[in-house]
């Protein structure tokens, strides 16, 4: 599992060795896995978590890779540090089991690579009404429509979909000789997915294309006891 992030964002020359090249980073220590706390009583879990984090934090400090640091979290519940240390020390830390991840924000003698704007996939949600010529009473069918579109921003995603609106709503003749059209009534939401390549669809776990949080009443069948 990758622990060291942002290193690929820098152009590094060989003029400075990893033992001499300093970097400013945020180092996060490992958080306890849920399996370690699931069998504990609720009142004991915070104490276990804090002790677990404190032990990992102490392991980090004992490595003595940096002289000063800024604490991330609190003394009772430490999450890591912000510090300046050599690149070789960072590489060594990234192999330690008590480290969760490391982010590099500044690297001496290296140039940060320019960020190239890239397209990703957005899922646009819209409401569509199915309108039948001359029918003005009774029930009308409608559709929650989701379209996946490749774009650089939410605005450009909406614009791409809107350009197809006229063609999408072009009428056709149904079996009763009435004209029918699928009318886009509203553009309701746009979700930025994590999809960046068509290859992402080969993920055996699947890939999320839309998500929206909402609240609902808790019932007995929706309650979880943690087991």
119-160 per-position pLDDT tens digit: 889 999 999 999 999 999 999 999 999 999 999 999 999 999
Residues 124 and 107 in one domain: no
Is 222 inside a domain boundary? no
Model-wide pTM > 0.85: no
Domain residue limits at 126: 120-212
Examine the pLDDT at 1 and tell me if it is beyond 70: no
Q: Are residues 53 and 144 in the same domain?
A: no
Q: Does residue 191 have a pLDDT over 90? A: yes
Residue 227 within a domain: no
Q: Which of 19, 22, 9, 202 is nearest to 116 (CA)?
A: 9
Beta bridge partners of 23: 85, 107
Residues 38 and 103 in one domain: yes
- Considering the domain architecture, whether residues 32 and 91 belong to the same structural domain is answered as yes
Which pLDDT value is given to residue 196?
85
Q: Residue range 7-11: average pLDDT?
A: 89
Mean pLDDT, the chain, whole residue set: 93
Mean pLDDT of all residues in 45-52 = 96
- Whether residue 224 is contained in a domain is answered as no
Which of these, 191, 226, 193, lies nearest to 207 by C-alpha position?
A: 193
Instruction: Please report, for the domain that includes residue 88, its CATH number.
Output: 3.30.70
107-128, pLDDT tens digit by residue? 998 988 887 777 889 999 999 9
Stretch 19-27: mean pLDDT, rounded?
A: 96
- Does some domain include residue 226? no
Listed residues 112, 133, 163: the one ending a domain:
112
Quote the pLDDT of residue 57. Answer: 98
Determine, yes or no, domain membership for 137: yes
Q: Which of 70, 86, 112 is the last residue of a domain?
A: 112
> How many structural domains comprise the chain?
2
Residue 114: its pLDDT value, please? 87
Q: Say yes or no: 129 and 167 in one domain.
A: yes
């Amino acid at each position: 599992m990758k622990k060291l992030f942002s290193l690929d964002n820098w152009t590094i020359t060989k003029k400075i060795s990893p033992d001499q090249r300093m970097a400013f980073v945020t180092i996060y220590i490992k958080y306890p896995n849920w399996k370690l706390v699931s069998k504990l009583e609720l009142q004991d879990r915070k104490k276990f978590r804090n002790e677990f984090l404190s032990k990992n934090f102490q392991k980090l400090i004992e490595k003595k890779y940096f002289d000063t640091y800024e604490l991330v979290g609190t003394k009772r519940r430490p999450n890591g540090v912000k510090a300046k240390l050599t690149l070789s020390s960072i590489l060594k830390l990234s192999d330690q089991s008590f480290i969760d991840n490391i982010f590099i924000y500044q690297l001496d003698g290296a140039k940060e690579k320019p960020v190239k704007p890239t397209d990703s996939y957005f899922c646009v949600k819209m409401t569509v009404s199915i309108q039948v010529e001359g029918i003005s009473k009774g029930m009308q069918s409608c559709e929650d429509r989701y379209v996946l579109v490749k774009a650089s921003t939410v605005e450009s995603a909406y614009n791409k979909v809107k350009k197809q609106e006229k063609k999408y709503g072009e009428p056709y003749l149904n079996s009763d000789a009435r004209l029918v059209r699928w009318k886009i009534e509203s553009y309701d939401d746009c979700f930025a997915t994590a999809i960046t390549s068509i290859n992402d669809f080969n993920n055996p776990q699947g890939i999320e294309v839309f998500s929206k949080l909402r609240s609902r009443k808790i019932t007995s069948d929706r309650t979880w006891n943690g087991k």
